[in-house]
Structure 1
Amino acid sequence: MDMSDSKKEKVTDNDGKSIVSSSPRPPTHLTGHRPSKWYHLQLRTIALFALPILSFIGLFGTLFIGGRNGTFEQITNLVRQKTPSAVFPNAKYLLLKDYTGIRALDRQLTVLVTFFAPVVDSKNAALWLNSIYGLGQFGAAWTLLVMESLRSGNKGRAVSFIGTVGLIFQNITYAVTVPLYLFIHLLTSPIAKPFSGTHANSVLLISSLDLKILPLSITLAYIVPSILMGLDAPSQVSGHTHQKLIAFWQPFPIWTVIIQWTLRSFFQFIGSEVSSRDSKQPPAPQGASYLSSVKHVYRFALTLCVLTHLPILLIALVPASVIADTLPKLSPYASLNFFDIYVPYFPFPLTHRVSDLANGTHTFLQWDLATGSTSLLLWAILLYRNATTEKSMVDPDTSLPPHQIREMLSGEGNRVGALRRELLVKIGVWTLIAGPIGAATVLIWERDEIVRQKIKQGI
């Protein structure tokens, strides 16, 4: 008898018919059975194409439009004005131009302070509400980016140098920098690719200590300076102090890195002293410690989004008469609608000039927030899908019979369609409640929960 024939065995199906099969047989994939059409691109491919395009859109909406509509011209004229001395926008005190004694740095700080002058002025109704919304979205986005830089799989990679990235987007714009950062992340980070639960410890985890102190670092480096620069001048602080507080906020990425490092070093020192006294207590498993600590960071980011988005959305959607009757103090904002606050303005023709600096700054920030937030949401969707669609394998010799496998494969399209609809509903609901960064936070949080289930199941 031929050797190949000796390896064949008889298998009887449900009808009693004999089927010749070879042993062993390769495993059958439950996904990817039917070939996709050429136009059915993978989400990863779409994201890799979309992120550079979003960066270009951000460049157009912020730097190009800002240069065409007169916003940058007004700022430059104020910074260069010497005789008479320039006055701080919409105020009666002089524009401060000396902060550090370093000419190039002082000039850049003066430009940024002048740009943000109308942002912290509550008399600019639409811009003021957009700024409150942006405070939460931007703060939560920054929290997610810092978390990403701390993950074990990103250590030593370009995406881990988040302080540098933060300084770049503070000076070049969030809308241009963040899509490119996420593009680099997708190309270089192991976290951007599907991985098994057993591989999570080497790529996904963050030090439990880093997670515990991160909300405090963000609060001290970003939220507190944001509140301080919003203090009114001259009724609450002097004009010079007001400008110095705005300038102090600008390098908040550096403050975040410094505070995070300082707090980590301090608590590591305290922890080493305590552990040396109580060395008998076994350490908690790293994965369990991560999952216990990371939920507090996600809750922090999500709370920041909800508290700064939902009230502004209600003001934009509730009829003006209702606001004026129930909350008279909000009457100056009652006439504003959703588009006034949230939707980026597209100037037509492109030669359109803004009436004042506040309008130009508002247009800039609308494009900045919309483009950067869209990029982060797209990135979060991809990471979530990586966790939920990782291929499962079934060994037909030890698992399901062939006819059941065929039935599962035939229903795969319906299952995938249902999952997509569920994902879209989830994104829509959370975007309504907490804005696009709130939705992104929920997706990344659920990605971690899915990985936890994989760890438990050993897959």
Structure 2
Amino acid sequence: MKAISLALGFRALAILSVFLLWGFYTLNGTTKANLLAPLNGKLNENITLKNDYTGIFILDYPISLLVTFFYFATNGSDEGFQLLVFEGYSTLQSSFVWVYAEMLRPGSKPWTIATPLFFVTLSQILGGAISLPLYYAYHILWIDGAEILRVRDQDAAQALPFSFLLGAVLPAILGCAPTWNGPDSRSPEVHQKYLAFFQVDPLWVTLIQTLLAKLFRRLRYSEGGNPAQGPKTAHRWTRASYLLAAASSAIGRLYTAARIYTSTEEGTNLARMRIPYPPEGPTGGLPDIVARGPFLYLQFDIPIFELASMVWAFLLLSRMPNRPRGSDLTLALTMLIGYLTVGAGATVSLALYVREGLLLEKEKAQTR
């Protein structure tokens, strides 16, 4: 299939996601309630909403909007909801590694590939089901007309796993802690402060990635490192980042599966967690539309960006001319098994790990 047709397919999926995510979110009144909550300073009649993090309205208002959205998804009040979000974000956070690794590849790139901060921020604001398919559309068109080689920037590649851990994983662990510690482990005000920190993790990733790359470059120059070893070192660090992302996603998947299997909560089951109930969303323990609306939103968001990511990884790997022998059907079945066991995030990360190795072989073959 031609790249332009694949890109159109990803864009169509993004457009469909706008209607599924934001259509029901608006229809059931959640958009209105979400917009008004920061202005009123209340999540509901019982919970005050903090809306003065910096004292600057144009910064505080969007942060409070996102805190409102994620509050009932992370405060430990509904086990099934919390586990859905935890597993979904364990996949979404791995996309930081995927898009930043593509940014680091040598050669000219369109701004859509060279500026991953735009798409990861868009995921935070509009949803991964909208931003990631859009990114994949641009990426497919880019690789169709460009020579894609392994990452060669040793310092940036070395910074990648650290920016992922400190900028994406750590904020998520802090923000989602009531998922395993219980709702009584934090007061509403304290939890909202953690969530505010969690909302700017795209900026943390970019900032840490930039600063660490400069630090590693300075240290390497001061120590007189061998420049000839740079590409090999960059290759190892890039693949290590993919493995780290795979491990992070797999842990999220397996932890969720274990909690579901051992839970005694009536609402903690795959049917309630994964099957959307439009237009109001799931009930059972959720107090109002500010809680139910985001649940329904994420029931559409998570499977769509998981599916889009799986298809993107399949396309990248299947188009490698030097990949191991086997049909596309075998590859698809292998990835399906990965999705059903360790989850979409781990499967995509492992597929990209394999692709990175094939890019190395491709480069070697061209220099013979």
What interval of TM-score do these two structures reach, taking the shorter chain for normalisation? Answer: 0.7 to 0.9
User: Percent same amino acid among aligned pairs?
Assistant: 21
How far apart in 2 are the matches of 1:243 and 1:140? Answer: 24
Structure 1 residue matching 2:93: 3-state secondary structure: helix
- Out of 49, 52, 55, the position equivalent to 2:8 is 49
Partner of 2:164: 218
How far apart in 2 are the matches of 1:282 and 1:364? Answer: 49
Partner of 1:432: 340
- 1:388 equivalent in alignment to 2:310: no
Shift of 1:223: 1.6
Shift of 1:389: 7.3
CA separation of 1:230 and 1:311: change in aligned 2, threshold 3 A: closer
How far apart in 1 are the matches of 2:66 and 2:315? Answer: 34
How far apart in 1 are the matches of 2:227 and 2:167? Answer: 34
How far apart in 2 are the matches of 1:267 and 1:450? Answer: 27
How far apart in 2 are the matches of 1:262 and 1:380? Answer: 29
- 1:116 equivalent in alignment to 2:70: yes
Kept in 2: contact 1:231–1:242 (CA 8 A): no
TM-score (norm 2): 0.87
2:294 maps to amino acid: T
Kept in 2: contact 1:301–1:441 (CA 8 A): yes
How far apart in 1 are the matches of 2:80 and 2:13? Answer: 25
RMSD: 2.9
Kept in 2: contact 1:43–1:382 (CA 8 A): no
- Structure 2, unaligned stretches of length 5 or more? none
Structure 2 residue matching 1:283: 3-state secondary structure: helix
How far apart in 2 are the matches of 1:103 and 1:186? Answer: 39
- Out of 164, 184, 193, the position equivalent to 2:144 is 193
- 1:296 equivalent in alignment to 2:228: no
Shift of 1:431: 0.6
Kept in 2: contact 1:313–1:338 (CA 8 A): no
Stretch of structure 1 that moved more, 156-165 or 112-121: 156-165
How far apart in 2 are the matches of 1:352 and 1:261? Answer: 41
How far apart in 2 are the matches of 1:58 and 1:389? Answer: 35
Kept in 1: contact 2:113–2:139 (CA 8 A): yes
Shift of 1:369: 1.5
Partner of 1:18: none
Shift of 1:261: 0.9
Residue pairs, 1:62-77, within 5 angstroms? 62-77=21-36
Partner of 2:228: 283
Shift of 1:226: 1.6
Structure having the higher helix fraction is 2
TM-score (norm 1): 0.71
Output one character per residue of 1:22-74: Cα deviation in whole Å (capped at 9) or x when no partner.
xxxxxxxxxxxxxxxxxxxx163552231011101211221111111222233
- Kindly name which structure, 1 or 2, has the bigger radius of gyration based on alpha carbons: 1
- 1:79 equivalent in alignment to 2:4: no
- 1:240 equivalent in alignment to 2:189: yes
- 1:182 equivalent in alignment to 2:126: no
Residue pairs, 1:148-163, within 5 angstroms? 148-153=102-107, 155=109, 157-163=111-117
How far apart in 2 are the matches of 1:315 and 1:243? Answer: 25
Kept in 1: contact 2:94–2:345 (CA 8 A): yes
Kept in 1: contact 2:38–2:50 (CA 8 A): no
How far apart in 2 are the matches of 1:264 and 1:387? Answer: 29
- Structure 1, unaligned stretches of length 5 or more? 1-41, 324-329, 391-414
